[in-house]
Structure 1
Amino acid sequence: MDELKQSLINQVEFNCDVSDAKYWGYFSICGLLMSLYALYMSKLSLKPWAYVEGKDISEWIAQKEAGWEKLENEDFRELRIHGKSYNPFDISAINQVLIGEGLVYGAGYGLFNKPSFFLADLHSYSKIHGCSVFVSKKEHVRDLFISPGMLREKQIFLRLEPLRAILWDKFQELKKQNNPILEYAFNQYGFHADQDINEEFEIAFEKLTNKYSDVVLYHELSESIEDIPGWSEMLYEIDAKDVNFFLRAVKDMLADTSNHGPIKRSIDNKDSVNLGLSIALIDRYRVKMDKEIRQAYEEFINSGDWDLVENARKMIYARVVLLRDKILDIRKSVDNKADLIAKIRRLI
Structure 2
Amino acid sequence: MSSEIDSLIETVQQNCHISDARFAQNYTLCIYLLKMRELYRWEQGHGYEEKLAHEALGGWITEREALWDRVENDAFSDLSFASQLFSPFESDMLNNKLFPHGYVYSGGYGRFAKPLFVVAELESQQQHQAMNIVITGRELARDIVAPPAMTQGKTIIVRRESLQRMLWERIEEWGWKEYENSMGRALSSYSFKDSPAEILEEMTNNEIEAVVLHEIGEYQCGERLNPLWNEMVMSIAGTKSELYARAIRDHIADAISTLPQLIATQNTPSIHFYMANFSGIRREIFPALLDVYKQWCSSDNGSLTPVKTCIDRGLEHWVSIANEMVNIYNNSSEYERIDRLEAMINLAKLET
TM-score by length of 1: 0.93
Counterpart of 1:226 in 2: which secondary structure? helix
Structure 1 equivalent of residue 349 of structure 2: none
- Deviation at 1:147? 0.6
1:201 corresponds in structure 2 to: 196
Residues 106, 119 of structure 1: 8 Å contact kept: yes
* Distance in structure 1 (CA, Å) of the matches to 2:15 and 2:250: 28
**What is the identity, as a one-letter code, of the residue corresponding to 1:321?**
V
Deviation, structure 1 residue 16: 0.5
Matched, 1:210 2:205: yes
Partner of 2:321: 323
Q: Which residue of 2 aligns with 1:60?
A: 60
Q: Give the counterpart letter for 1:17 in structure 2.
A: H
Is contact 1:181–1:298 with CA below 8 Å preserved after alignment? Answer: no
Q: 2: distance between equivalents of 1:230 and 1:47?
A: 43
TM-superposed deviation, 1:68: 0.7
Which shows bigger deviation, 214-223 or 45-54?
45-54
Cα gap change, 1:49 to 1:339, in 2 (>3 Å): farther
Per-residue deviation, residues 167-214 of structure 1 (Å, max 9, x unmatched): 1222233234755222111112334xxx47xxx211110110111011
Following TM superposition, by how much is the alpha carbon of 1:164 offset from its aligned partner in structure 2, in angstroms?
1.1
Q: Are 1:182 and 2:205 matched, yes or no?
A: no
Question: Which residue of 245, 255, 266 maps to 2:243?
Answer: 245
What is aligned with 1:101? 101
Give, in whole Å, the separation in 2 of the partners of 1:188 and 1:290: 26
Gaps of 5+ in 1: none
Instruction: Give yes or no for the alignment of 1:285 onto 2:275.
Output: no
- Shift, 1:145, TM fit: 1.5
1:220-231 counterparts in 2 under 5 A?
220-227=215-222, 228=225, 229-231=227-229
Q: Which moved more, 1:156-165 or 1:324-333?
A: 324-333
Per-residue CA deviation, residues 14-69 of structure 1 (Å, 9 max, x unaligned), is: 11011111212222222221111111111123333322111111111111100111
Distance across 1 between alignment mates of 2:298 and 2:191: 18
**Could you tell me which amino acid in structure 2 is paired with residue 340 of structure 1?**
R
Distance 1:46 1:210 in 2: 22
Deviation larger for 113-122 or 309-318: 309-318
Cα distance in structure 2, aligned partners of 1:141 and 1:180: 35
Alignment of 1:131-210 (within 5 A): 131-174=131-174, 175-176=176-177, 178=179, 180-191=181-192, 195=193, 200-210=195-205
Quote the residue 1:342 is aligned against.
339
Q: CA deviation at 1:239?
A: 3.1
Please state how far the C-alpha of 1:86 moved relative to its aligned partner: 1.0
Partner of 2:46: 46
Count of residues in correspondence between the two structures: 339
Q: Report the Cα distance in structure 1 between the residues aligned to 2:45 and 2:258, rounded to whole angstroms.
A: 29
Verify the 8 A CA contact 2:178 2:184 in the aligned structure 1: no
What residue identity is the alignment partner of 1:316?
Answer: G
Q: Sequence identity, in percent? A: 25
Q: Secondary structure at the match of 1:48?
A: coil
Cα distance change on mapping 1:302 and 1:244 into 2, 3 Å: same
Please identify, of 286-295 and 215-224, the stretch whose mean Cα deviation from structure 2 is larger.
286-295
Q: Distance in 1 between matches of 2:134 and 2:167?
A: 20
What value does the CA root-mean-square deviation take over the aligned residues? Answer: 1.7
The aligned runs of 1:8-157 (5 Å cut-off) are 8-157=8-157
One-letter amino acid of the counterpart of residue 220, structure 2: I
Structure 1 moving runs of 4+ over 6 Å? none
Map Cα deviations across residues 216-266 of structure 1 (whole Å, 9 max, x no partner).
1111111111113222112211134321111110111100112xx111100
TM-superposed deviation, 1:111: 1.3
Secondary structure at the residue paired with 1:146?
A: coil
Unpaired runs of 5+ residues, structure 2, are: 347-352
Amino acid at match of 1:122: L
CA 1:190–1:289: 2 relative to 1, 3 Å: farther
SS at match of 1:73: coil
What is the distance in 2 between the residues matched to 1:319 and 1:280?
Answer: 23
Q: Secondary structure at the match of 1:63?
A: helix
Alpha-carbon separation, structure 1, partners of 2:230 and 2:49: 35
CA contact (8 A) 2:113 2:238 kept: no
With over 3 angstroms needed to count, the CA separation of the structure-2 counterparts of 1:47 and 1:299, relative to structure 1, is farther
Paired position in structure 1 for 2:271: 275
Once the two structures are superposed, residues 305-330 of structure 1 have per-residue CA deviations (whole angstroms, 9 ceiling, x without a partner) of 11121112112222212211221221
C-alpha contact 1:111 1:145 (8 A) present in aligned 2: no
